[in-house]
Structure 1
Amino acid sequence: MAELRFDGRVVIVTGAGGGLGRSHALFFGSRGASVVVNDLGASHTGEGASSRAADVVVEEIRAAGGKAVPNYDSVLDGDKIVETAMKAFGRIDIIINNAGILKDVSFARMTDEQWDLIFQVHVKGAYKVLKAAWPIFRQQKFGRIINTSQANYSAAKLSLVALTRTLALEGKKDNIHSNVIAPMAASRMTETILPPDMLASLKPEMVTPLVAYLCHESTTENGSLFEVGAGFIGKLRWERTGGHGFPIDKTLLPEHIQENWSKITDFEDGRATHPDSTQESMEGIMANFENVSDPKAKL
């Protein structure tokens, strides 16, 4: 099969000093892309800073004959990361928002500061990088975006799914494609919560090929969410039951809902749908505007 190359493309990988980010950076470097290796050098919980993590990956790419430069800024300074790419290579084609921290505590034990920090890094950080690069993507009529979502940071990461869907819609006319991966891979963060035998099967190198495929200029996939890990790749989608419409000219009571609960929640009756746009998500409600009661019928 023909090799998918990225010659002439410039890739920013955040959190690229280890784990998934390092794997992505090395792969793109090996396929001809120029890589901005961003890593603040903090611990997996977000403390400290060091240039070593990014420097080591840059040297690995260069030693293999690739092109790369380091960047040590926080993703909250996304404009500085983008500036590094523009100064070094003169353009940006691909952004892989991979940077993250882990505050693996239960909701009951979580502090306000921990909650805020997760959102700052995972959501605002991704926003800041994308916001700085978006005008460049629009001007050159090309851009590929991969955001990273994982269950450990559920609220913050679902925000990234929603953001990606919006970017996919707004960027489509300018050939800017945005997708989300929900990876399971061995890293500094997952090694604190997964057993060694499982980690051995969760190589980051089994996630990176999907990222590369989604970023290639020949790929048309846009606005999608994929689970990936240990050699498995699957696409996720929203599913909605056929539901039940109540007459809009009658008072609706909790008892009416109780009586029809099996219809409201039934995914197996052949009426389930998979809304993929705002218009499709509103179809059930819009159709029910015409649902006027028969005086002889029950709700």
Structure 2
Amino acid sequence: MSGRLKGRVALVTGAGNGVGKACALALAAEGASVVVNDLGTSEFAQGESASAADATAREIRSAGGQAEPSYDSVASSAGVANAVNIAEQAFGPVDIVVGCAGAILPGDLHASDESYHRFIDLFLSQKFWLARATVPGMAERGWGRFIAATSEGARGTVGNPIFAAAMGGVVSLVKGIANDYRGAGVTANCLAPGATTRLSQVMVPHLEQAYQEGKITREVFEGAKAGPGPVTHVPPIVTWLCTDAAADVTGRVFNARGGKVSVWSDYEEVRAIYRGDAQTSPPWSLEELDQFVPAHLLS
């Protein structure tokens, strides 16, 4: 490896398995000191174990890198704060954050208040707490990389409205961070990974049911059933975004899947209808909208 991240300190959540683990290993291979965070739950967020984080940290050390485990739940602000503290005590201020922790949780409109908040805390609030604890310090030092996992689910294509809301919220959160810290040496980007992991495989029966119920398309289901591709295809773009070569890349969403790297479109206005002067023209009538919305905005 080229050692492009030598001297940098990275915190990777969900690093005991799957995409998070692959990213932690890749960052360490480029010279970063890595805090490997993983609560050690099952795919369905049940139980706790130190074994997952320990195994990844041990693998990094065996390859000659530096790593410390964190067993904190990043679904709480206190857990995030403690994971950051572990990094600071072991290696120094955090330069790189890759927020990947997740699990399979119920997210349909029958979810209880408790389930809703648990979902949002794990998938969305985690990224806010990570950013709050690290990004201002990155800006003070003039260098930092913040990467937060989102998903195809942000587009609503896999059903699960709470998941869609959380993943869409991650995109908007990251865009806001990118805008606030533009020019401060800090970049913020999203990763929408596609990889065959324990979570993706466990989800296949659930997606099949969703397909049978007409909640997702055949394309989405068949893609999940076939498997997105090896997890090793994801870390290169994450690692590259953490290098100096990506100093001007911020506020974007990258997808890595089966050897393909793509970037999502930005939010933008795509069509408009106008009627005279904005200050003096009357509002649109419903009859006018009957005509112009289908013909000019939705065509």
Provide TM-score, normalisation by structure 2: 0.83
Q: How does 1:165-184 map to 2 (within 5 A)?
A: 165-184=175-194
2:290 is aligned with what amino acid?
Q
1:214 aligns with 2:241: yes
Alpha-carbon contact 2:106-2:115 (below 8 Å) kept: no
2:58 — aligned with what? 59
- Percent identity over the alignment? 30
Question: 1:240 aligns to what?
Answer: 269
Asked if structure 2 preserves the Cα contact closer than 8 Å seen for 1:6 and 1:32, the reply is: yes
Q: Deviations over 1:174-225 (max 9, x none)?
A: 11100011111122221112389623x5211101111111111221210001
Cα–Cα, structure 1 residues 104 and 185, in superposed 2: closer, same or farther, change >3 Å?
Answer: farther
Picking from 224, 232, 254, the partner of 2:286 is 254
Which of the pair has more CA radius of gyration?
1
Count of aligned residue pairs for this structure pair: 263
Please give the alpha-carbon distance, in whole angstroms, between the structure 1 residues aligned to 2:66 and 2:3: 17
Q: 45-54 vs 96-105, which deviates more?
A: 96-105
The 5 Å alignment of 1:18-167 reads 18-75=17-74, 76=76, 77-104=79-106, 107-150=108-151, 151=153, 153-167=163-177
The structural deviation recorded for 1:27 is: 0.9
**Shift in Å, 1:114:** 2.1
1:17 aligns with 2:19: no
Equivalent pair of 1:11/1:92 in contact (CA under 8 Å): yes
**What's the CA shift string for 1:42-65, capped at 9, x where partnerless?**
122222111110000000000111
Match in the other structure for 2:252: 224
CA distance in 2, matches of 1:241, 1:157: 22
Asked if structure 2 preserves the Cα contact closer than 8 Å seen for 1:228 and 1:234, the reply is yes
- Structure 2: gaps of 5 or more residues: 206-223
Deviations 1:23-52 (A, max 9, x none): 001111111111000001112222211111
Question: In structure 2, what is the Cα distance between the partners aligned to 1:169 and 1:229?
Answer: 27
Verify the 8 A CA contact 1:241 1:265 in the aligned structure 2. no
Check whether the contact 1:81–1:129 (CA below 8 A) recurs between aligned residues: no
Q: Which residue of 2 aligns with 1:282?
A: none
For the 8 Å contact 1:39–1:73, the answer to whether it is kept is: yes
Contact 1:96 1:145 in 2 (8 A): yes
Superposed CA RMSD in Å reads: 1.9
**Alignment partner of 2:200 out of 190, 208, 215:** 190
Distance between the aligned counterparts of 1:166 and 1:4, measured in 2? 31
Counterpart Cα distance in 2 of 1:71 and 1:242: 48
Q: Does the 8 Å CA contact 2:43/2:199 hold for their aligned counterparts?
A: yes
> Which structure 1 residue ranges, 5 or more long, are not aligned?
267-299
Structure 1 residue 256 displacement after superposition = 0.5
The structure-2 alpha-carbon separation of the partners of 1:4 and 1:240, relative to structure 1 and needing over 3 Å to count, comes to farther
Q: Are the equivalent residues in 2 in contact too, given 1:149–1:157 (CA < 8 A)?
A: yes
How far has the Cα of 1:134 moved from its partner?
Answer: 2.2
Distance 1:124 1:251 in 2: 39
Letter in 2 for 1:235: V
Deviations 1:154-175 (A, max 9, x none): 1101111111001101111311
**How much has 1:129 moved relative to structure 2?**
1.7
Q: Secondary structure at the match of 1:100?
A: coil
Within 2, Cα distance between the matches of 1:27 and 1:86?
21
